[in-house]
Structure 1
Amino acid sequence: MPAAASVAAHAAAALLGAALALALLPREFLLPEAGRPWMPVGDAAQHIVAQRYFLRDPAWHWPPLLAPHLGTAEGGTNIAFADGIPLLALLLKAIAAWLPAGFHGIGLWYGLAFVAQPVAAVWCLRGSGERRLVPALGVALAAASMPAWLNRYGHAALTGHFFLLVALGLYLRLARRQGAAPWAAAAAVAVAALLAHPYLAAMVLALLGAVPLTWLLRRDAAAAGTALAGSGAATAAVLLVMAAFGYLGATGEGGYGQFAMNLLAPVWPHRSGLLAGLVAAEVDATGHGGWEGYNWLGAGLLGGLAAAGLLRPRAVAATLRRHGGLALVLLGLTLLAVSHRVGLGPAVLLDLGAVPAVLEQFRASGRFFWPVAYALLIGTAAVLARHPRRGLGAALVLAMGLAQFADAAPLRAALRDWAATRPAWTLHAPALRALFARHERLTLLPSWPCIARGAERDYAQTLEALALASETALPVSTMYVARWRGAPPACRDDERAAAPLAPGELRLILPGAVARLLPLVPGAAERCVAVGEAVACAAPPAGP
């Protein structure tokens, strides 16, 4: 009977996730092909480009995530630095020969995340000891409706919140009984999270690090020592993969504190379906919009927290005492999310000035509240489900899930509309596809380091050109990356524009750079033609 109940709970969660994926994500989004009359946009375009170049290259390189034909002028691109979801890309590359032309797994990742999210929540809740079907359904509905998760639809890799639920479930099991097998699983989950996105790996390691703290606070030194060794091994596994796959030494733009979580964010009902109209925008004190710090907990979860506090205050206090190490880690993650620039509503209450350089790696610090939200969800569900009147407890968890699901309706609608968006190419896509097919490599101007901050049109059209080139993985000179190793890429557009055109080279100057760079191209009058608003230049074909 317990095995049957487990199968039923996880199957119901999987069906929920699959139904949501099929309802919200069009088929051509999940299973894309090249040559479409519309373009990908924003962060999704960056991820698509990275995966396509990686999948179309039949060779394997070192480090394993290198796409040498993408950003050739910079020595190729590690797709981890372009958020190409290496975990999925590595699996797809093994079967790349059987995939459709221009296929990428970005849309597929969304579908997988929709299925995995509620399943992971059910597995996590079972780690607390609650194994009945009705509470499982409630927590699956709530997890599939977490606002901070649904709101990440523009950034594929960061929809992997199921890793956080799995890590939390591992914590619950390891805080009860340890062994080599669960710690090996914990290390594997941490590495997999790294290969989805480094932020997720950092959060997973933080949750695993709560295990030795909890055992230490329970005054069990032997268990704390075992847990410390286990969490240390998981951390070592992540560092080893980082070294082997080229992550170490990477830096980004920095800006810790700019994209922090506002203190009001967890209770700020922006995009709430049940509290619609109370607020008109995200809460922000830093001047950066508040999107990265968006952490509305949802009306269902907030209602569940209130019910747990009112109906079972002693159980809440006992849970906090029993999981003291986790509580401390979650407090630390909350402080990290809030950052050194503490915002309350539109005002910065506290600015502590300069921070250690290591924190600059966590520019979008507001994300670090995600594990806190999931711990609140699972903890609330477990406390409510154990109400002395067991039927009432199960009903309360189901009601929490249903309320959370209803509250997330605007977020699901926004995701559905985004996935169905079909923006037309602003560049002359048919002509560029024909040109790309006749040339061996592409020099794209402006290159990424030369685009001025705030030049949104140049940014968008560079990604657009890269997306077109990625359909056939034409070797291209530049690529946008979120991080890089060593010194930031330098701007050398004048030098590249003025260089002699090489045989097989296509030099594409996008509209925003034509006036400045076209006069530098040798023989531009004879070798360059307009392609819409852009200009394409090439050497004359070789003679017979």
Structure 2
Amino acid sequence: MSPALPERLRRLPTVASTFVIAHLGPLGAAGVGLLAFLAVYGPAALDPTRLGWLLRDDFSQHLLGWLFFRNEPLRFPLGAMEGFIHPLGTTLGYMDAIPWVALLLLPFSAVLPVDFQYIGPWMCACLMLQGATGAWVARRLDASVPQQWMVGGLLVLSPTLLARMSMAHEALCAHWTLILLVGLHLIPQRSARDAKQALGLALAMCVFAAGVHPVITAMVVALSVSLCVRTALERQLPWRWPVLAAGVNVGTVLVLFYVFGYLGTVRTLGAGAFGGFSADLAAFINPLGYRDLLWSRFLSALPRQGAQYEGFAYLGLGVLFALWTALVLVARDAPQVARLWRRFVPVGLVSLGLFFFALSSHITLRGELVANVSALYAPVMRWVEPFRSSGRFVWPLYYLLALGSALVLIRLPRPSVAPSLLALTVVLQGFDVNLGRGRQGQEGPAWTTAPSEALREAAEGRKHLVLYPPQIHDGSGRGCRAGPREFPLWAYRAYRLGLTFNSGYVARLDDSRAQSYCLGLDDDVRAGRLDPDTVYLSIPQRIHEFRAIRGTRCVQEDRLYLCVLEKDAASPGRQATP
């Protein structure tokens, strides 16, 4: 052993304590995020072996994407799987299963429990990073440790992020990436080193977001390009650097989209109904969220259109107070603020542009149409329709207002007043934001029970589990939707038995292939052409078709019928029902 090694080991505690002290603000704010997650979901949601609570909403789609992916060999595009919605197949990206995390865990799949989920830990990490990132930005602006905690805590209590968790959209919870990029616009670039660090972080966020969710990626790319503009205006680097960085960011995302199968695997990326899932002009002061959940304890709900929950962007009383105070301070010191235009003009213009897109083609105020700009979008509808939930693009402006107003309070002319105003802001936010009853992570229906003996016996030596008729659809309703809605239960059991499964819900689907498969399956069953390697799950209304086929055996289970063609049956075909 090297003599220097014991000395290095003795220095480790000192190095660790130095790191903790130096990063006390971000670490403390991350702790606030952890406490918020425990208050909303409870500690049981952090148990990776608990799956029952993930049955609700879209959680089951994301969970099944990971479970089926881990049962298959790695193939291109990364995250592609053939066992789910078999034989059509899909990808991790279209299952909203956070491809980077699934790919990171795949090498360890053999040693991980059969029942394993990362949705709860991921959402907890997002809340912790939300706080840590806000505190880090405040730290770069010379805020004290308590001020860093308060800025981070204020962002943790963002109703927009908490509402997204309640909607079971965990991949869309990486709001900390937007906070980081907005913050990088506001942090001074005093040297070429600062400028290079900002450009490097922007590229890292583009790479990260491309393996998380396309909507997050689109906003990250827009903010990264505006950061390149800001860097060029600062002139700490030759203009070639930011121009090259902008091109690299966009090119890297396009390549990764192809690698992850977002591009080139589905014919139609459009989702239809653009303009319905928008934001309202009053979104920042409307506490009405998904499923009519009121996120304020003090403010009343404002009118909105039905699907505008996607544009939910309630700031909270604390942030609204900070924003009002910040505007007063900025107005009083306008000449000095104007000298900092390079910091806020690029990000402000991009955020306002994305906010305009969030309003979509039908701009509303309190749910009433005030402008129809459909003609503006008509020539580019092919490109904007994939982002039909345009209301989500309100988030960059949301965090510019929230983070920017908090940072203005830090830079008050009288520094002694800043802690009191920030504390009042956090207290107002904490009292106002409705965190619910803290039971979101409670166990759901017991759908993750082991497959029954009848199903195990039917599946022995077979490869496929087929729901008949299938339930295959995407977010736009494309596909075949005649089968039972409780397909996640059977998909989980197929996973436990190592079988493929023919039904499911995905973000995007090739409708022509889906229709061809469903019609072909229908023709095969009616003609008596059953696959001996398949276990069929028939609804009661269609069981007579299986009973009319020679050599089939059917048993009832969970309101459906398990039917198999005996492998030693001679030439299967139709026969008269006795």
Same fold (TM over 0.5): yes
The answer on 1:103 being equivalent to 2:125 is no
Picking from 450, 457, 467, the partner of 1:444 is 467
Picking from 225, 250, 259, the partner of 1:235 is 250
1:48/1:84 contact within 8 Å kept: yes
Specify which structure has the bigger relative contact order, considering alpha-carbon pairs within 8 angstroms and separated by 6 or more residues.
Answer: 1
Change (3 A) 1:27 1:268: closer
1:38/1:425 contact within 8 Å kept: no
Q: d(CA) in 1 for partners of 2:189 and 2:142? A: 15
- Structure 1: 5+ residue stretches without partners: none
Q: Residues 232-254 of structure 1: CA distance to partner in whole angstroms, max 9, x if unpaired?
A: 21111111111222221441423
Picking from 21, 42, 47, the partner of 2:37 is 21
Change (3 A) 1:478 1:368: same
Corresponding residue for residue 377 of structure 1: 402
The answer on 1:284 being equivalent to 2:304 is yes
Corresponding residue for residue 417 of structure 1: 439
The answer on 1:536 being equivalent to 2:562 is yes
Q: Residues 98-140 of structure 1: CA distance to partner in whole angstroms, max 9, x if unpaired?
A: 211121222221122122111111123334x233112211111
Corresponding residue for residue 482 of structure 1: 507
What is the TM-score normalised by the length of structure 2? Answer: 0.82
The answer on 1:183 being equivalent to 2:199 is yes
Change (3 A) 1:517 1:295: farther
Question: What's the % identity of the aligned pairs?
Answer: 26
Corresponding residue for residue 275 of structure 2: 257
1:334/1:369 contact within 8 Å kept: yes
Corresponding residue for residue 87 of structure 1: 100
Q: Residues 148-181 of structure 1: CA distance to partner in whole angstroms, max 9, x if unpaired?
A: 1000111111111112122223444585555545
Q: d(CA) in 2 for partners of 1:430 and 1:350? A: 57
- The residue type equivalent to 1:71 in the other structure is I
- The residue type equivalent to 2:93 in the other structure is A
Change (3 A) 1:426 1:214: closer
Deviates more, 1:17-26 or 1:328-337: 17-26
1:252/1:484 contact within 8 Å kept: no
Q: d(CA) in 1 for partners of 2:561 and 2:134? A: 52
What is the TM-score normalised by the length of structure 1? Answer: 0.87
2:65/2:92 contact within 8 Å kept: yes
Q: d(CA) in 2 for partners of 1:516 and 1:66? A: 32
Change (3 A) 1:102 1:203: same
Cα offset, 1:302, TM superposition: 0.5
Structural mapping, 1:221-370, within 5 Å:
223-249=238-264, 250=266, 251-270=269-288, 271-276=294-299, 278-279=300-301, 283-285=303-305, 287-288=306-307, 290-315=308-333, 317-318=337-338, 322-354=343-375, 355=377, 356=380, 357-370=382-395
Q: d(CA) in 1 for partners of 2:550 and 2:270? A: 36
Change (3 A) 1:521 1:308: farther
Q: d(CA) in 1 for partners of 2:412 and 2:333? A: 9
Q: d(CA) in 1 for partners of 2:555 and 2:319? A: 59
Q: d(CA) in 2 for partners of 1:198 and 1:534? A: 37
Q: d(CA) in 2 for partners of 1:428 and 1:7? A: 46
Corresponding residue for residue 69 of structure 1: 83
Deviates more, 1:224-233 or 1:301-310: 224-233
Cα offset, 1:3, TM superposition: 7.0
Corresponding residue for residue 508 of structure 1: 537
Cα offset, 1:533, TM superposition: 1.4
- The residue type equivalent to 2:559 in the other structure is E
Cα offset, 1:283, TM superposition: 3.9
Picking from 224, 240, 245, the partner of 1:208 is 224
Give the RMSD, CA atoms, in angstroms.
Answer: 3.2
Cα offset, 1:443, TM superposition: 1.2
Who wins on radius of gyration, i.e. which is larger?
Answer: 2
Cα offset, 1:428, TM superposition: 11
- The residue type equivalent to 1:149 in the other structure is L
Cα offset, 1:2, TM superposition: 11
Q: d(CA) in 2 for partners of 1:423 and 1:148? A: 28
Cα offset, 1:330, TM superposition: 0.8
